[in-house]
A and B are shown apart, each in its own frame.
Chain A
């Protein structure tokens, strides 16, 4: 495990910002050169299986020690050596896009769509980036911290309103 981390640190010293020892080794990288790094992990180190891809919104997080608002978290797994790696990329609010890894792992396709749906992070190079769980005409991104759990006034979904009106007029 340590050998791997050292090797990665040497090879990608300009991409890797920090390596943390948590429940699983966590690598925090820059967005520039991220795709090369992921490509090397998949093809060179045998991380063939992408367990999970998700976003986290760190708006007003109490113990925050970085500037950017979002984090995109990848969990990669090596089936031969049984190593689990966590990779994080930090994304600021004004510049919220990230490279898509769909061409490396097909699993990433829907994960990225969900991340876009829930956090509004745009994935560059994604073949079909549209909402997946919420309706297509939904406004806002529900899992952002500034998206309220309850609205102050009860509101009806616009489609539903129109539908009711249609029935009444016809």
Chain B
């Protein structure tokens, strides 16, 4: 019998597997999380080669922002990673503040940290929901969206928008939290850990989940660094690189949190890392909320922050007129953006998000480069998908947590 099988195998290899089979997955495929096209070379159901093709969502944000002033580009940044737009706003603001040399008030830093961590929770909840749905667990999806809705409602109270909230501004944030929001956030942080526990009971030891995730897309630490993977994907491989710890920004230097890491670098470890990050984010929000009363009454926008419409040139200083009632007047010496360059990076929920800005001294950036985690992560798909089944490719796309708006810019 065994011999017969051997011969049969040989024959099939010679007869039918001579030519590789090419398959286009996407751009319109529900599991590719957007308009990602994967050109697959198959041998049976095994992936021999994979060529990701992106650019279907290219809107030219970098070119557009060369023709907009610094505050206007922040609105564009919302549209990059539309699931966690607070993180995008923050990295833009950080880069511009570095360029201008602004000092952000402490209260604004705390508020930014809270908003960023809320974005992380939102993102990880959506990731868990869709990842589980792709693999086959429907229930998690509904539970996750329920909790995400709660956070989106809080966002709505903070700034009026649910997804594209340009809440973070150059020099601080738009407006202060009201008492109601702080109470709501306290209630959320109180409740949320038990919710995380709920999700874990659903899938943590689920036999299907384990078989679909354990040992899939293993990336060794050395390889992961070389591929440029960041965020939970890198930490799943056991490298404790986190921008929040390595180059602290905003209020991350004064809060206490742990950077969870995995061991094996497979899909299951990355799932564990993200679940642990949810708990840590919750802790960070709680600590920041506790610190808010210390800074009661402080401004949330730096005194010398540029106006929304940054002028082309600074007018010569003239005697200051008495400001009329109801008119916001920030003085005549507005800080014009000096020529130079700045590089700022943050730990966005998906990985390291960096902005490199070159200024020529006008009110518009000369060059604005956005290094997005999704772009790098998609480039790693060929390495990760090799010798896996097509069904595993879905799990790989899910575990990388990509958003095509983020990668195509």
CB distance from B225 to the nearest CB of A (A): 5
Structural contact, B352 and A51, CB atoms closer than 8 A: yes
CB distance from B35 to the nearest CB of A (A): 12
A19 sits at the interface (CB 8 A): no
The answer to whether residues A56 and B228 also contact, given A24-B343, A134-B55 and a CB cut-off of 8 A, is: no
| Interface members, chain A 62-112 (any B CB < 8 Å) | 62-63, 73, 75, 79, 82, 84, 86, 105-107, 109-110
Count of chain B residues near A, Cβ 8 A: 40
CB distance from A127 to the nearest CB of B (A): 12
The answer to whether residues A73 and B356 also contact, given A54-B369, A143-B63 and a CB cut-off of 8 A, is: yes
Structural contact, B354 and A52, CB atoms closer than 8 A: yes
Structural contact, B342 and A23, CB atoms closer than 8 A: yes
Q: Per DSSP, are chain B's interface residues mostly helix, strand or loop, or mixed? A: mixed
For A135, the chain B residues whose CB sits under 8 A away are: 55
Nearest residue, chain B, Cβ from A48: B225
A50 sits at the interface (CB 8 A): yes
Q: Pick the contact of A82 from B225, B247, B378, B379 — CB < 8 Å? A: B247
For A49, the chain B residues whose CB sits under 8 A away are: 225, 228, 241
Structural contact, A51 and B371, CB atoms closer than 8 A: yes
For B63, the chain A residues whose CB sits under 8 A away are: 142-143, 147, 149
B284 sits at the interface (CB 8 A): no
**Stretch in B136-144, B193-201, B295-303, B360-368 with 4+ CB within 8 Å of A:** B360-368
Give A107 to B383 CA distance when docked, in angstroms. Answer: 12
CB distance from B80 to the nearest CB of A (A): 14
Structural contact, A51 and B55, CB atoms closer than 8 A: no
Q: Pick the contact of B375 from A57, A63, A106, A110 — CB < 8 Å? A: A110
For B378, the chain A residues whose CB sits under 8 A away are: 110
A-B contact count (CB 8 A): 91
For B67, the chain A residues whose CB sits under 8 A away are: 149
Chain A interface size, under 10 / 10 to 19 / 20 to 34 / 35 or more: 35 or more
For A54, the chain B residues whose CB sits under 8 A away are: 356, 369, 371
Q: Pick the contact of A51 from B239, B342, B345 — CB < 8 Å? A: B345
Give A105 to B358 CA distance when docked, in angstroms. Answer: 25
Structural contact, B360 and A62, CB atoms closer than 8 A: yes
Q: Pick the contact of A50 from B228, B247, B367 — CB < 8 Å? A: B228
Give A75 to B409 CA distance when docked, in angstroms. Answer: 20
Structural contact, B367 and A57, CB atoms closer than 8 A: yes
The answer to whether residues A110 and B376 also contact, given A61-B360, A63-B360, A73-B356 and a CB cut-off of 8 A, is: yes
Q: Which residues of B contact A (CB under 8 A)?
A: 54-55, 58, 60, 62-64, 67, 98, 225-228, 239, 241, 246-247, 339-343, 345, 352, 354, 356, 358, 360-361, 366-367, 369, 371, 375-376, 378-379, 383, 408-409
Q: Which residues of A contact B (CB under 8 A)?
A: 22-24, 48-52, 54, 56-57, 61-63, 73, 75, 79, 82, 84, 86, 105-107, 109-110, 114, 118, 131-135, 142-143, 147, 149
26 A-B pairs within 8 Å (CB atoms) are namely: A48-B225, A49-B225, A49-B228, A51-B354, A52-B356, A52-B369, A56-B366, A56-B367, A56-B369, A61-B360, A63-B360, A79-B239, A82-B246, A84-B247, A86-B343, A106-B227, A106-B228, A107-B227, A107-B228, A110-B378, A118-B62, A131-B55, A132-B54, A133-B55, A133-B408, A143-B63
9 interchain residue pairs of minimum CB distance: A107-B228, A110-B379, A133-B55, A52-B371, A54-B369, A133-B58, A56-B367, A63-B339, A48-B225
